[in-house]
């Protein structure tokens, strides 16, 4: 079983979406964790957007990366430039990947426009995670 850590700034949105999809596509072949270089709580719109796609992340928590320092990860994926720049050193042989996804939580607009942005980013992350699992697991 491969251990994957997904890192974001606040572990509230992008990393939560990625954790949900990596678990979904990886199944029993992966153990997936997500964390932030800060903790901001899980974004309710992220939960709702994933529910629309049949994935329940309502039980996820917002965790700080330091909580996982002792785990020997196989892969560490940063999903925003800020987390990549602030990513702590892991004493591991983990292969590191990076993809800077837009932050839908910072999108400004009407509620419908914000939800559309969450869905757009969700689909980007879904494609990335499906491809990641198919290429690396």
CB neighbour class for 66 (10 Å; exposed up to 12, middle 13-18, buried from 19):
exposed
Tokens of 118: 């969450």
Count CB-CB contacts under 10 A for residue 43: 22
The tokens 């709702």 sit on which residue? 48
Among 87, 94, 114, 124, the active-site one is 87
**Catalytic residue selected from 5, 7, 8, 13:** 8
Which one from 7, 80, 105, 125 is the annotated catalytic residue? 80
Is 129 tagged catalytic? no
Using the structure block, give the residue that is written with the tokens 């892969």: 75
Q: What does the block give as tokens for 133?
A: 């699992």
Across 89-113, b (16+ Cβ under 10 Å) vs e yields ebebebeebebebebbbebeeeeee
Beta-bridged to residue 36, according to DSSP, are 8, 64
Q: Is 87 a known active-site residue? A: yes
Enzyme catalytic residues: 8, 80, 87
């Amino acid at each position: 079983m491969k251990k994957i850590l997904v890192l974001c700034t606040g572990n509230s949105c992008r990393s939560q979406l990625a954790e949900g999809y990596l678990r979904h596509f990886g199944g029993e072949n992966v153990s997936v964790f997500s964390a932030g270089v800060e903790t901001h709580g899980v974004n309710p719109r992220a939960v709702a957007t994933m529910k629309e796609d049949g994935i329940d992340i309502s039980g996820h928590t917002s965790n700080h990366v330091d909580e996982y320092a002792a785990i020997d990860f196989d892969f560490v994926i940063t999903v925003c430039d800020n987390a990549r720049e602030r990513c702590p050193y892991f004493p591991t042989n983990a292969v590191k990947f990076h993809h800077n996804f837009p932050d839908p939580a910072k999108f400004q607009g009407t509620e419908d426009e914000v939800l559309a942005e969450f869905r757009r980013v969700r689909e980007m992350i879904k494609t990335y995670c499906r491809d990641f699992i198919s290429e690396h697991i």
